């Protein structure tokens, strides 16, 4: 995955490709752009960025469910700008680029992800009334339907960020309710079934679903998007993101 030299230099051997953002994808119609969330070189090289994805608009006031996505890679490789994420996240999404280990050890990836989510929340009219600095979020994000998602290490970030956001103790200034959770079972961890079972039986009144794909490896859908199994998984996720989930009593 990576090579660390005695002088501290880190060479990443995987996921080194970079796909530029496009104003109008000729196949999907999705527009994308890269934005800076926080950049403070004098603060431990704090640099948090993201790639935004906006589906083709049918009206200038159209709003979409908002997906905040945290990529995987063992906290040390990958980014939202590699080909597998650029081709995969074809919804209105904020795909977060957090700092990587070993240069930036845990918990910095979690701290960056939390800062990114707060930045996204700052665009909600429920938060400040004035919106935030990013026009796409101000005009086209439906803050009544916000989803957090991630793969591998990003799924771990997603779980922890969601628990903090839904605890009632966060500094969002938003009325946060966790209404639904979708689990994709990883062949690396039987504990995912335990997670799903415990959540289903704990008395929580939200929506929980689980989907298992037989015979595939960890994160398979990111590496073979054209396979039927990957398409089936993405359709299930899309249906979950677009369903009407009632508010908790």
Residues 65 and 187 in one domain: no
pLDDT digits (tens, 9 = 90+) for 133-150: 999 999 999 988 888 988
32 catalytically annotated: no
Whether 119 shows a pLDDT value over 90: the answer reads yes
For the entire predicted model, the pTM comes to 0.82
More confident residue, 195 or 171: 195
pLDDT classification of 214: cutoffs 50, 70, 90: confident
φ, ψ dihedrals at 59, nearest 5°: -140, 160
Residues 139 and 117 in one domain: yes
**Domain end residue (candidates: 131, 159, 176):** 176
Structural domain total, the chain: 2
pLDDT classification of 174: cutoffs 50, 70, 90: low
**Domain end residue (candidates: 176, 209, 227):** 176
Among candidate residues 124, 152, 167, 170, the one labeled active-site is 152
What is the overall mean pLDDT for the chain? 81
Residues 160 and 206 in one domain: no
What is the domain range of residue 55? Answer: 2-176
The predicted structure's pLDDT at residue 185: 45
pLDDT digits (tens, 9 = 90+) for 46-74: 889 999 999 989 999 999 889 999 998 88
Residues 107 and 149 in one domain: yes
């Amino acid at each position: 995955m990576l090579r660390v030299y005695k002088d501290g230099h880190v060479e990443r051997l995987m996921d080194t490709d970079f796909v530029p953002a496009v104003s109008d994808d000729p196949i999907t119609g999705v527009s994308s752009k890269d934005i800076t969330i926080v950049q403070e070189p004098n603060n431990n090289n704090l640099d948090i960025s993201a790639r935004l994805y906006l589906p083709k608009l049918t009206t200038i006031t159209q709003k979409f469910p908002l997906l905040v996505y945290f990529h995987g890679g063992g906290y040390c490789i990958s980014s939202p700008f590699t080909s597998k994420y650029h081709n995969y996240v074809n919804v209105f999404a904020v795909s977060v680029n957090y700092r990587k280990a070993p240069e930036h050890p845990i918990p910095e990836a979690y701290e960056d992800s939390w800062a990114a989510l707060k930045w996204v929340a700052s665009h909600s009219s429920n938060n400040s009334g004035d919106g935030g600095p990013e026009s796409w979020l101000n005009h086209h994000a439906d803050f009544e339907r916000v989803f957090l998602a991630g793969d591998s290490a990003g799924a771990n970030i997603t779980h922890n960020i969601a628990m903090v956001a839904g605890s009632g103790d966060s500094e969002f200034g938003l009325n946060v309710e966790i209404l639904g959770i979708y689990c994709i079972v990883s062949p690396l961890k039987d504990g995912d079934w335990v997670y799903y079972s415990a959540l289903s039986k704990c008395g929580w009144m939200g929506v929980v679903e689980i989907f298992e794909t037989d015979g595939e490896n960890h994160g398979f859908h990111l590496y073979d998007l054209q396979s039927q199994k990957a398409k089936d998984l993405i359709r299930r996720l899309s249906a979950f993101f677009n369903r009407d989930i009632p508010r908790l009593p």
